[in-house]
Amino acid sequence: MKVLIAEDERKVRDFVKLGLEEAGMVVDAISTLDELKSSLLTTTYDVLVLDRILHGQDVVEHLDRLQAKEPKARILILSALSDAPEKVKGLEEGADDYLGKPFHIPELVARVRALMRRTTVEREIHKDTLLEYADLKIDLSSQRVYRNTSRIDLTGKEFRLLCLLAKQPGHVFSKVTLLNQCWDMNHFPESNVVEVTVAGLRSKLEKGFTPLIHSRRGVGYWLGSNE
């Protein structure tokens, strides 16, 4: 398993790199947003450990573009901006986990390993697999989505959410279930991240096509018929 660290403070970067390497992980470390983007073009990573502010630039504002370059990687944000609203913002923008500074290396290692386990399980499940429902086709190995012959580009979070719904058409998933399975956010039930992600997914998936994703307030979300 391979990890990329992006941290602009050298002492913190070296500290994190050493801690993860001692835990048996293969680690690359860089310090700027440009280096981060370049690294994702040439190397595949399982987990990205990103300092939220890199030389004055907020990484959270770039998560969509980073996920487009490496959609299968899990993202863990490190930040001194660690109050609940800031954590929720980072998670809503696409991070899988958010750890406030200062932190202890054993906790960071445990969180990275948890993200790696999820990545490993997903890749095994998705290997050489195609999901189909009506005119919807999802290639799980390449993470490409089509309606009829039209390709639809999704963010990493939108793709994971769609896959979860498409694996059980007609099954109603509660908001809490989606938070737990797509975001590990059982401790942030007040977040509107599900509503925001579903809205974005619908706008892309249903533009020019019949609705596929439905919801009922207080009940949940499902893919399939609205009858």
Based on the fold, state whether residues 192 and 211 are members of the same structural domain.
Answer: yes
Q: What is the CA radius of gyration of the chain?
A: 18
Based on the fold, state whether residues 115 and 159 are members of the same structural domain.
Answer: no
Domain containing residue 17:
2-124
Report whether pLDDT(121) > 80. Answer: no
pTM: 0.64
HSE value, Cβ hemisphere, 13 Å, CA-based, for 138: 19
Number of domains in the chain: 2
> How sure is the predictor about 84, in pLDDT bands with cuts at 50, 70 and 90?
confident
Q: How many CB atoms lie under 10 A from the CB of residue 209?
A: 14
Based on the fold, state whether residues 104 and 132 are members of the same structural domain.
Answer: no
Rounded Cα distance between 138 and 143, Å, is 7
Based on the fold, state whether residues 45 and 60 are members of the same structural domain.
Answer: yes
CATH number for the domain that contains residue 25: 3.40.50.2300
CATH number for the domain that contains residue 187: 1.10.10.10
Residue 31 and residue 54 in contact, taking contact as beta carbons nearer than 8 Å: yes
* pLDDT score recorded for residue 19: 95
Report whether pLDDT(104) > 60. Answer: yes
DSSP 3-state of 145: strand
* pLDDT score recorded for residue 64: 82
Based on the fold, state whether residues 194 and 105 are members of the same structural domain.
Answer: no
Report whether pLDDT(31) > 80. Answer: yes
- Which of 90, 124, 158 lies at the terminal end of a domain, its last residue? 124
Residue 220 and residue 172 in contact, taking contact as beta carbons nearer than 8 Å: yes
Structure tokens given for 103:
């932190």
* pLDDT score recorded for residue 171: 94
Report whether pLDDT(62) > 70. Answer: yes
* Structure-model confidence comparison of residues 127 and 130, the more confident one: 130
HSE value, Cβ hemisphere, 13 Å, CA-based, for 122: 23
Based on the fold, state whether residues 156 and 190 are members of the same structural domain.
Answer: yes
* pLDDT score recorded for residue 227: 64
- Which of 83, 104, 124 lies at the terminal end of a domain, its last residue? 124
Structure tokens given for 204:
């892309």
Rounded Cα distance between 183 and 161, Å, is 10
* Structure-model confidence comparison of residues 180 and 147, the more confident one: 147
Based on the fold, state whether residues 104 and 12 are members of the same structural domain.
Answer: yes
Structure tokens given for 112:
């990275």
What kind and span of H or E run contains 119? helix 105-126
Residue 138 and residue 212 in contact, taking contact as beta carbons nearer than 8 Å: no
Q: What is the mean pLDDT of the chain?
A: 88
| Spatial CB neighbours of 45, under 8 Å, sequence gap ≥ 6 | 2, 3, 4, 28, 39, 70, 73
Based on the fold, state whether residues 69 and 110 are members of the same structural domain.
Answer: yes
Based on the fold, state whether residues 115 and 146 are members of the same structural domain.
Answer: no
